[in-house]
Amino acid sequence: MKRSIGVASACLAAGLAMAGAEVAAAADLASHRATYRMGLSASRSGSGMANASGAWTYQFIDACDGWITEFQLVITYAYSEGGQVATTTDFLGWESKDGLHYRFRVRQSREGQVTEEVEGAARLNGPGQGGTARYTRPEARTIKLPKGTLFPTAHTIRLIETANKGGRILSRPLFDGQGEEGALETSAQIGRAVTPQTAAVTSPLLNSPAWPMRMAFFPMGSTDPLPEFEMSLNYHANGVAEDIEQIFKTFSLKGRLESIEILPRTKC
């Protein structure tokens, strides 16, 4: 399965011994719904890609006992030799606020037909420790997660905490469930915070400086110096992302924020 934005997110500068409850207390992530207009930003030799366009609808909710992330990525690819293919990725994930429990469901469709479904749950043995992921689809199987694995929201929190402390690099294994290969090794480079510029989209969620970040994703144990894919984005301290780009080996997709709204806090 080709991974999508996971944002997600979908990675610890310090404090491996930090208690899970402290992870939740350190976060101030905003519940929100955002839509990004997606398009082809680069096509390299051999890709056969002439154009790509679509939309990514993303929703993040603070659900008291955990965080819920839901998104749909719809992309139509047009090829230089003719023809086009419409694809859809639907993702739903729940992550406990102690960062130790995670549930996920992913569905891939091509021309309206489901081509792959992945579903399961994962748990870590403790902060900074390894754990297990148990898949129920496409078939029942269990895999081990390496020491230091983070789930997507915990990874986002660590990125923001690292940036807030002036850190420039964060490397951790990340498990998001968007594939059957398990955790990926991630390496994030964090730039200095930049003041938001005048844009077509205005929202209180965008009134803070944002850190430009570029993340590279590698299969665990890989000796290939080139990542499986990369992602760049600007992250606000509230977890809202702008200027997203997915960088694959032969082409890249750019996401421009088109709309964003604050979602009401859940009454706990």
Examine residue 224 and state whether it is found in any structural domain, yes or no.
yes
Q: Can you give the pLDDT at residue 193?
A: 93
* The pLDDT of residue 115 is above 70: yes
Examine residue 4 and state whether it is found in any structural domain, yes or no.
no
Examine residue 122 and state whether it is found in any structural domain, yes or no.
yes
Q: How far is CA 133 from the centre of its chain?
A: 18
Q: Which of 70, 1, 69 is nearest to 29 (CA)?
A: 69
Q: How many CA atoms lie within 13 A of 180 on its CB side?
A: 13
Instruction: Report, as an integer, the average pLDDT of 94-98.
Output: 96
Examine residue 173 and state whether it is found in any structural domain, yes or no.
yes
Q: Which of 87, 64, 70, 54 is nearest to 6 (CA)?
A: 70
Cβ atoms 79, 43 nearer than 8 A: no
What is the count of structural domains for the chain? 1
User: Residue 114 belongs to what domain range?
Assistant: 20-262
Examine residue 213 and state whether it is found in any structural domain, yes or no.
yes
Examine residue 15 and state whether it is found in any structural domain, yes or no.
no
* The pLDDT of residue 92 is above 50: yes
Element of type H or E holding 15: none
Pull the structure tokens for residue 194: 């930049």
Q: Can you give the pLDDT at residue 150?
A: 97
Task: Please give the model's pTM, rounded to 2 decimal places.
Answer: 0.87
143-180 per-position pLDDT tens digit: 999 999 999 999 999 999 999 999 999 999 999 998 77
pLDDT band at 27 (very low <50, low <70, confident <90, very high): low
Examine residue 237 and state whether it is found in any structural domain, yes or no.
yes
The percentage of the chain sitting over the pLDDT mark of 90, rounded to a whole number, equals 73
Report the C-alpha gap between 122 and 175 in whole angstroms: 9
Examine residue 101 and state whether it is found in any structural domain, yes or no.
yes
Report the C-alpha gap between 212 and 28 in whole angstroms: 19
